[in-house]
Chain A
Amino acid sequence: MPPSNAGKQALRVVVLIALGTGAGIADSAMRPVKVTPDAPPPIEEVIAGHGAGQPLPTGANPVPARPPQGAPQAKPAETAKPYMITVEQARKLFETDQADFIDARPETEYAEGHIRGALSIPIEAFAGQIPERLKLIPDRARVIIVYCSGGNDCKAAEDVMIELQALKYSKIYVIQAGFPGWKEAGLPVDQGSPP
Protein backbone atom coordinates (compact mmCIF):
# COMPACT_ATOMS: atom_id res chain seq x y z
CA MET A 1 0.00 0.00 0.00
CA PRO A 2 1.67 3.29 -1.09
CA PRO A 3 1.91 5.95 1.66
CA SER A 4 -0.75 8.21 0.14
CA ASN A 5 -3.12 5.26 -0.15
CA ALA A 6 -2.34 4.22 3.43
CA GLY A 7 -3.20 7.75 4.56
CA LYS A 8 -6.48 7.59 2.65
CA GLN A 9 -7.36 4.25 4.25
CA ALA A 10 -6.47 5.55 7.73
CA LEU A 11 -8.70 8.56 7.20
CA ARG A 12 -11.54 6.26 6.14
CA VAL A 13 -11.03 4.14 9.26
CA VAL A 14 -11.35 7.30 11.38
CA VAL A 15 -14.50 8.32 9.47
CA LEU A 16 -16.08 4.87 9.96
CA ILE A 17 -15.37 4.92 13.71
CA ALA A 18 -16.63 8.51 13.98
CA LEU A 19 -19.84 7.65 12.12
CA GLY A 20 -20.42 4.54 14.25
CA THR A 21 -19.77 6.50 17.44
CA GLY A 22 -22.05 9.34 16.31
CA ALA A 23 -24.85 6.91 15.49
CA GLY A 24 -24.28 5.23 18.85
CA ILE A 25 -24.44 8.47 20.82
CA ALA A 26 -27.62 9.48 18.99
CA ASP A 27 -29.13 6.06 19.74
CA SER A 28 -28.13 6.29 23.40
CA ALA A 29 -30.09 9.52 23.70
CA MET A 30 -33.22 7.80 22.42
CA ARG A 31 -32.94 4.49 24.28
CA PRO A 32 -31.44 5.10 27.71
CA VAL A 33 -29.72 2.24 29.49
CA LYS A 34 -28.63 2.07 33.11
CA VAL A 35 -25.23 1.27 34.51
CA THR A 36 -26.17 1.63 38.18
CA PRO A 37 -29.56 1.00 39.77
CA ASP A 38 -31.78 3.73 41.25
CA ALA A 39 -31.72 4.09 45.03
CA PRO A 40 -34.67 2.34 46.73
CA PRO A 41 -36.38 3.70 49.89
CA PRO A 42 -34.08 3.51 52.93
CA ILE A 43 -34.04 -0.05 54.30
CA GLU A 44 -34.65 1.28 57.83
CA GLU A 45 -38.08 2.52 56.71
CA VAL A 46 -38.93 -0.92 55.36
CA ILE A 47 -37.84 -2.71 58.51
CA ALA A 48 -39.37 -0.16 60.93
CA GLY A 49 -42.46 -1.32 62.77
CA HIS A 50 -41.72 -5.00 62.30
CA GLY A 51 -40.19 -7.45 64.74
CA ALA A 52 -36.43 -7.51 64.71
CA GLY A 53 -36.31 -11.27 65.26
CA GLN A 54 -33.55 -13.01 67.14
CA PRO A 55 -30.03 -11.53 67.13
CA LEU A 56 -27.40 -13.16 64.98
CA PRO A 57 -25.42 -16.02 66.53
CA THR A 58 -22.29 -14.94 68.39
CA GLY A 59 -19.46 -14.29 65.98
CA ALA A 60 -21.74 -13.76 63.02
CA ASN A 61 -20.47 -11.02 60.79
CA PRO A 62 -23.07 -8.81 59.14
CA VAL A 63 -20.53 -6.92 57.05
CA PRO A 64 -18.64 -8.36 54.06
CA ALA A 65 -17.47 -11.82 54.89
CA ARG A 66 -14.25 -13.34 53.67
CA PRO A 67 -14.89 -15.04 50.32
CA PRO A 68 -14.14 -18.74 50.00
CA GLN A 69 -10.53 -19.68 49.36
CA GLY A 70 -9.60 -19.15 45.71
CA ALA A 71 -12.48 -16.74 45.11
CA PRO A 72 -11.63 -13.16 44.10
CA GLN A 73 -11.28 -10.82 47.08
CA ALA A 74 -14.25 -8.52 47.61
CA LYS A 75 -13.43 -4.83 47.82
CA PRO A 76 -13.88 -3.11 51.20
CA ALA A 77 -17.22 -1.53 52.04
CA GLU A 78 -16.10 2.09 52.40
CA THR A 79 -18.17 3.15 49.36
CA ALA A 80 -21.36 1.30 50.31
CA LYS A 81 -24.17 2.02 47.89
CA PRO A 82 -27.68 3.09 48.99
CA TYR A 83 -29.22 -0.24 47.99
CA MET A 84 -26.67 -2.35 49.84
CA ILE A 85 -27.87 -3.92 53.09
CA THR A 86 -26.18 -5.97 55.77
CA VAL A 87 -26.78 -9.64 56.50
CA GLU A 88 -28.46 -8.56 59.75
CA GLN A 89 -30.97 -6.38 57.87
CA ALA A 90 -31.64 -9.17 55.38
CA ARG A 91 -32.13 -11.63 58.24
CA LYS A 92 -34.81 -9.42 59.81
CA LEU A 93 -36.74 -9.31 56.55
CA PHE A 94 -36.25 -13.07 56.06
CA GLU A 95 -37.51 -13.99 59.50
CA THR A 96 -40.57 -11.73 59.27
CA ASP A 97 -41.32 -12.99 55.75
CA GLN A 98 -41.26 -9.43 54.46
CA ALA A 99 -39.09 -10.12 51.44
CA ASP A 100 -38.45 -12.51 48.60
CA PHE A 101 -34.86 -13.46 47.85
CA ILE A 102 -33.32 -13.69 44.38
CA ASP A 103 -30.01 -15.46 43.73
CA ALA A 104 -28.25 -13.63 40.88
CA ARG A 105 -25.38 -16.12 40.61
CA PRO A 106 -25.14 -18.77 37.88
CA GLU A 107 -27.45 -21.76 38.44
CA THR A 108 -24.47 -24.04 39.14
CA GLU A 109 -23.51 -21.92 42.16
CA TYR A 110 -27.16 -21.79 43.27
CA ALA A 111 -27.25 -25.59 43.21
CA GLU A 112 -24.20 -25.77 45.48
CA GLY A 113 -25.93 -23.65 48.11
CA HIS A 114 -28.40 -20.77 48.37
CA ILE A 115 -30.52 -18.84 50.85
CA ARG A 116 -33.52 -20.94 51.82
CA GLY A 117 -36.47 -20.19 49.55
CA ALA A 118 -34.46 -17.98 47.16
CA LEU A 119 -35.33 -17.98 43.47
CA SER A 120 -32.52 -18.49 40.98
CA ILE A 121 -32.75 -15.64 38.46
CA PRO A 122 -29.34 -14.84 36.95
CA ILE A 123 -29.03 -11.82 34.66
CA GLU A 124 -29.13 -14.01 31.54
CA ALA A 125 -32.74 -14.90 32.36
CA PHE A 126 -33.75 -11.33 31.47
CA ALA A 127 -32.44 -11.37 27.89
CA GLY A 128 -35.39 -10.23 25.80
CA GLN A 129 -37.97 -11.68 28.19
CA ILE A 130 -39.45 -11.61 31.68
CA PRO A 131 -38.03 -14.57 33.62
CA GLU A 132 -40.60 -17.29 34.23
CA ARG A 133 -39.68 -17.53 37.93
CA LEU A 134 -40.45 -13.84 38.44
CA LYS A 135 -44.12 -14.69 38.06
CA LEU A 136 -43.86 -16.01 41.62
CA ILE A 137 -43.44 -12.38 42.77
CA PRO A 138 -46.42 -10.62 41.15
CA ASP A 139 -46.56 -7.82 43.76
CA ARG A 140 -44.39 -4.95 42.47
CA ALA A 141 -44.35 -3.34 45.95
CA ARG A 142 -42.93 -6.48 47.57
CA VAL A 143 -39.43 -6.16 49.05
CA ILE A 144 -36.92 -8.10 46.97
CA ILE A 145 -33.44 -8.92 48.19
CA VAL A 146 -30.91 -9.86 45.55
CA TYR A 147 -27.58 -11.43 46.35
CA CYS A 148 -24.53 -12.76 44.59
CA SER A 149 -21.09 -13.80 45.78
CA GLY A 150 -20.64 -10.68 47.91
CA GLY A 151 -18.59 -7.52 47.81
CA ASN A 152 -19.28 -3.89 47.09
CA ASP A 153 -18.92 -4.46 43.35
CA CYS A 154 -21.43 -7.27 43.09
CA LYS A 155 -22.29 -6.49 39.47
CA ALA A 156 -24.47 -9.55 38.88
CA ALA A 157 -26.87 -8.50 41.64
CA GLU A 158 -26.77 -4.85 40.50
CA ASP A 159 -27.66 -5.88 36.96
CA VAL A 160 -30.59 -8.01 38.15
CA MET A 161 -31.69 -5.02 40.23
CA ILE A 162 -31.64 -2.74 37.16
CA GLU A 163 -33.78 -5.24 35.25
CA LEU A 164 -36.24 -5.53 38.16
CA GLN A 165 -36.53 -1.75 38.40
CA ALA A 166 -37.30 -1.66 34.67
CA LEU A 167 -40.16 -4.07 35.46
CA LYS A 168 -41.44 -1.55 38.09
CA TYR A 169 -40.35 -3.38 41.22
CA SER A 170 -39.50 -0.57 43.61
CA LYS A 171 -38.08 -2.03 46.84
CA ILE A 172 -35.00 -3.94 45.82
CA TYR A 173 -31.87 -4.33 47.92
CA VAL A 174 -28.59 -6.16 47.58
CA ILE A 175 -26.88 -8.04 50.42
CA GLN A 176 -23.42 -6.55 50.47
CA ALA A 177 -21.73 -9.62 51.96
CA GLY A 178 -23.63 -11.83 49.53
CA PHE A 179 -24.18 -15.53 50.01
CA PRO A 180 -20.81 -16.08 51.76
CA GLY A 181 -21.83 -13.56 54.45
CA TRP A 182 -25.24 -15.19 54.92
CA LYS A 183 -23.71 -18.65 55.18
CA GLU A 184 -21.01 -17.52 57.58
CA ALA A 185 -23.70 -16.04 59.83
CA GLY A 186 -25.19 -19.52 60.16
CA LEU A 187 -28.50 -18.52 58.58
CA PRO A 188 -30.74 -21.01 56.73
CA VAL A 189 -29.39 -22.34 53.44
CA ASP A 190 -30.47 -25.06 51.05
CA GLN A 191 -28.82 -27.01 48.29
CA GLY A 192 -30.07 -28.28 44.94
CA SER A 193 -30.92 -27.13 41.45
CA PRO A 194 -33.68 -24.58 40.92
CA PRO A 195 -37.14 -26.11 40.35
Chain B
Amino acid sequence: MTEPAGPGAPAGSGGVAMALVGLALRLVLGGIFAWAAYLKISDPQQFTHAIKAFDTDLPDRLIIWSTFAVPWTEMLCAAALIVGVWTRAAATTVALMLVLFTGLVISAILRHLNLEHCGCFGRQGLLCHGPPGWCHVGENGLMLAMALVIALTGRQVVAADCLLERRARGRA
Protein backbone atom coordinates (compact mmCIF):
# COMPACT_ATOMS: atom_id res chain seq x y z
CA MET B 1 0.00 0.00 0.00
CA THR B 2 2.84 2.38 -0.63
CA GLU B 3 1.95 3.27 -4.16
CA PRO B 4 0.41 6.66 -4.56
CA ALA B 5 -2.97 6.90 -6.17
CA GLY B 6 -4.74 8.97 -8.76
CA PRO B 7 -3.71 11.30 -11.50
CA GLY B 8 -1.69 13.33 -9.03
CA ALA B 9 0.58 10.35 -8.32
CA PRO B 10 4.08 11.46 -7.38
CA ALA B 11 6.81 10.95 -9.90
CA GLY B 12 10.45 10.87 -8.77
CA SER B 13 11.91 11.66 -5.38
CA GLY B 14 10.14 15.07 -5.16
CA GLY B 15 6.76 13.42 -5.64
CA VAL B 16 7.53 10.75 -3.07
CA ALA B 17 8.61 13.42 -0.60
CA MET B 18 5.34 15.29 -1.17
CA ALA B 19 3.39 12.08 -0.67
CA LEU B 20 5.23 11.44 2.59
CA VAL B 21 4.47 14.99 3.72
CA GLY B 22 0.81 14.28 2.88
CA LEU B 23 0.92 11.10 4.98
CA ALA B 24 2.43 12.99 7.92
CA LEU B 25 -0.20 15.75 7.63
CA ARG B 26 -2.99 13.16 7.51
CA LEU B 27 -1.74 11.41 10.65
CA VAL B 28 -1.16 14.64 12.58
CA LEU B 29 -4.48 16.24 11.61
CA GLY B 30 -6.36 12.97 12.09
CA GLY B 31 -4.75 12.52 15.51
CA ILE B 32 -5.63 16.07 16.58
CA PHE B 33 -9.25 15.69 15.48
CA ALA B 34 -9.59 12.25 17.07
CA TRP B 35 -8.34 13.70 20.37
CA ALA B 36 -10.65 16.73 20.14
CA ALA B 37 -13.61 14.49 19.33
CA TYR B 38 -12.83 12.06 22.15
CA LEU B 39 -12.73 14.87 24.74
CA LYS B 40 -16.12 16.17 23.57
CA ILE B 41 -17.80 12.77 23.27
CA SER B 42 -16.58 11.69 26.70
CA ASP B 43 -18.18 14.70 28.44
CA PRO B 44 -21.09 15.94 26.31
CA GLN B 45 -22.59 18.14 29.04
CA GLN B 46 -19.38 20.18 29.21
CA PHE B 47 -19.45 20.61 25.42
CA THR B 48 -23.11 21.74 25.66
CA HIS B 49 -21.99 24.41 28.14
CA ALA B 50 -19.18 25.41 25.76
CA ILE B 51 -21.58 25.82 22.81
CA LYS B 52 -24.03 27.82 24.95
CA ALA B 53 -21.22 30.08 26.12
CA PHE B 54 -20.75 31.34 22.54
CA ASP B 55 -24.18 32.96 22.89
CA THR B 56 -25.34 31.99 19.40
CA ASP B 57 -29.08 32.09 20.18
CA LEU B 58 -29.48 28.63 18.67
CA PRO B 59 -32.64 26.73 19.70
CA ASP B 60 -32.09 24.19 22.48
CA ARG B 61 -32.71 21.24 20.14
CA LEU B 62 -30.01 22.45 17.75
CA ILE B 63 -27.55 22.95 20.61
CA ILE B 64 -28.17 19.37 21.73
CA TRP B 65 -27.69 17.98 18.21
CA SER B 66 -24.54 20.05 17.73
CA THR B 67 -23.21 18.71 21.03
CA PHE B 68 -23.14 15.25 19.50
CA ALA B 69 -23.03 15.79 15.73
CA VAL B 70 -19.89 17.94 15.77
CA PRO B 71 -17.64 15.51 17.68
CA TRP B 72 -18.95 12.45 15.83
CA THR B 73 -18.28 14.15 12.49
CA GLU B 74 -14.82 15.07 13.77
CA MET B 75 -14.21 11.47 14.84
CA LEU B 76 -15.40 10.10 11.49
CA CYS B 77 -13.14 12.48 9.55
CA ALA B 78 -10.22 11.72 11.86
CA ALA B 79 -10.62 7.99 11.24
CA ALA B 80 -10.91 8.56 7.49
CA LEU B 81 -7.75 10.67 7.47
CA ILE B 82 -5.73 8.19 9.51
CA VAL B 83 -6.84 5.12 7.54
CA GLY B 84 -6.77 6.99 4.24
CA VAL B 85 -10.37 6.37 3.13
CA TRP B 86 -12.10 9.21 1.28
CA THR B 87 -9.06 11.23 2.29
CA ARG B 88 -9.75 14.35 0.24
CA ALA B 89 -13.41 14.50 1.27
CA ALA B 90 -12.47 14.04 4.93
CA ALA B 91 -9.88 16.82 4.66
CA THR B 92 -12.44 19.09 2.97
CA THR B 93 -14.98 18.40 5.74
CA VAL B 94 -12.34 19.17 8.36
CA ALA B 95 -11.53 22.41 6.51
CA LEU B 96 -15.22 23.40 6.50
CA MET B 97 -15.50 22.71 10.23
CA LEU B 98 -12.37 24.75 10.91
CA VAL B 99 -13.82 27.70 8.99
CA LEU B 100 -16.96 27.45 11.15
CA PHE B 101 -14.97 27.17 14.40
CA THR B 102 -12.73 30.10 13.44
CA GLY B 103 -15.78 32.22 12.67
CA LEU B 104 -17.16 31.45 16.14
CA VAL B 105 -13.87 32.29 17.83
CA ILE B 106 -13.57 35.61 15.95
CA SER B 107 -17.19 36.41 16.81
CA ALA B 108 -16.47 35.70 20.51
CA ILE B 109 -13.40 37.96 20.41
CA LEU B 110 -15.30 40.81 18.74
CA ARG B 111 -18.25 40.52 21.16
CA HIS B 112 -15.87 40.44 24.18
CA LEU B 113 -17.53 37.28 25.49
CA ASN B 114 -16.29 36.31 28.92
CA LEU B 115 -15.28 32.69 28.19
CA GLU B 116 -12.84 30.59 30.17
CA HIS B 117 -11.88 28.48 27.14
CA CYS B 118 -13.08 27.83 23.61
CA GLY B 119 -14.20 24.25 24.24
CA CYS B 120 -12.24 23.10 21.18
CA PHE B 121 -10.34 20.49 23.20
CA GLY B 122 -12.55 20.20 26.25
CA ARG B 123 -10.90 22.24 28.99
CA GLN B 124 -7.49 21.64 27.47
CA GLY B 125 -5.71 23.37 24.64
CA LEU B 126 -3.50 22.36 21.76
CA LEU B 127 -1.07 25.27 21.27
CA CYS B 128 -3.28 27.94 22.83
CA HIS B 129 -4.78 27.99 26.30
CA GLY B 130 -7.25 30.24 28.06
CA PRO B 131 -10.10 32.27 26.60
CA PRO B 132 -10.66 32.27 22.82
CA GLY B 133 -8.23 34.72 21.26
CA TRP B 134 -6.20 35.41 18.16
CA CYS B 135 -3.89 32.54 19.14
CA HIS B 136 -6.82 30.18 18.53
CA VAL B 137 -7.45 31.82 15.18
CA GLY B 138 -3.80 31.19 14.23
CA GLU B 139 -3.99 27.61 15.52
CA ASN B 140 -7.10 26.95 13.44
CA GLY B 141 -5.43 28.63 10.45
CA LEU B 142 -2.52 26.21 10.76
CA MET B 143 -4.83 23.20 10.84
CA LEU B 144 -6.86 24.66 7.97
CA ALA B 145 -3.69 24.93 5.88
CA MET B 146 -2.89 21.28 6.65
CA ALA B 147 -6.41 20.21 5.66
CA LEU B 148 -6.25 22.18 2.42
CA VAL B 149 -2.88 20.68 1.45
CA ILE B 150 -4.33 17.19 1.91
CA ALA B 151 -7.57 18.06 0.10
CA LEU B 152 -5.89 19.74 -2.86
CA THR B 153 -2.78 17.64 -3.51
CA GLY B 154 -4.57 14.31 -3.64
CA ARG B 155 -1.28 12.47 -3.25
CA GLN B 156 -1.48 9.71 -0.70
CA VAL B 157 0.68 6.84 0.44
CA VAL B 158 -0.20 4.12 2.94
CA ALA B 159 -3.86 4.85 2.32
CA ALA B 160 -6.88 2.63 1.79
CA ASP B 161 -7.78 4.96 -1.08
CA CYS B 162 -4.72 3.58 -2.98
CA LEU B 163 -6.00 0.02 -2.67
CA LEU B 164 -9.49 0.99 -3.74
CA GLU B 165 -8.17 2.92 -6.74
CA ARG B 166 -5.88 0.05 -7.77
CA ARG B 167 -8.79 -2.37 -7.56
CA ALA B 168 -10.97 -0.05 -9.62
CA ARG B 169 -8.25 0.27 -12.27
CA GLY B 170 -7.79 -3.51 -12.33
CA ARG B 171 -11.49 -4.01 -13.00
CA ALA B 172 -11.36 -1.44 -15.81
Stretch from B16-24, B52-60, B136-144 at the A interface: B52-60
Contact with B along A113-155 (1 / 0, CB 8 A): 0000000001110111000000000000000000001000101
Chain B residues with CB under 8 A of A17? 73, 93
- By the criterion CB–CB under 8 Å, are A124 and B123 in contact? yes
A16 touches B60 (CB 8 A): no
Please indicate the chain B residues that have their CB under 8 angstroms from the CB of A1 in the complex: 152, 154
Interface residues of A in 7-52 (CB under 8 A from B): 9, 12-13, 15-17, 19-21, 23-25, 27-28, 31, 33-36
B contacts with A: majority SS: helix
CB pair A33 B67 closer than 8 Å: yes
Q: Which of B42, B45, B73, B123 contacts A20 (CB 8 A)?
A: B73
**B76 located at the interface, meaning its Cβ lies under 8 Å from any Cβ of chain A in the complex:** yes
A16 touches B80 (CB 8 A): yes
Q: Is the CB of B60 within 8 A of A9?
A: no
Query: Once bound together, how far apart are the Cα atoms of A178 and B69, in whole Å?
Result: 33
B45 touches A28 (CB 8 A): no
The bracket for how many chain B residues form the interface is 35 or more
A159 and B70 form a contact (CB under 8 A): no
Contact of A16 among B43, B49, B76 (CB under 8 A): B76
A24 partner, pick from B43, B69, B93, B154, beta carbons under 8 A: B69
Contacting residues, chain B, for A123 (C-beta < 8 A): 46, 49, 116
User: Which residue of the partner chain A has the closest CB to B8?
Assistant: A1
Q: Is the CB of B65 within 8 A of A28?
A: yes
Question: CA A15 – CA B93 in complex, angstroms?
Answer: 10
Interface presence of B63 (CB below 8 A): yes
Which residues on B are within 8 Å of A, measured CB to CB? 41-46, 48-49, 52-53, 55, 60, 63-65, 67-77, 80, 86, 88-90, 92-93, 96, 111-112, 114, 116-117, 122-123, 152, 154
Seed contacts A106-B114, A128-B42, A156-B53; 16 additional CB < 8 Å A-B pairs: A9-B92, A12-B88, A13-B96, A16-B73, A16-B77, A20-B70, A20-B73, A20-B76, A24-B68, A27-B68, A28-B67, A31-B44, A34-B48, A36-B60, A149-B114, A162-B49
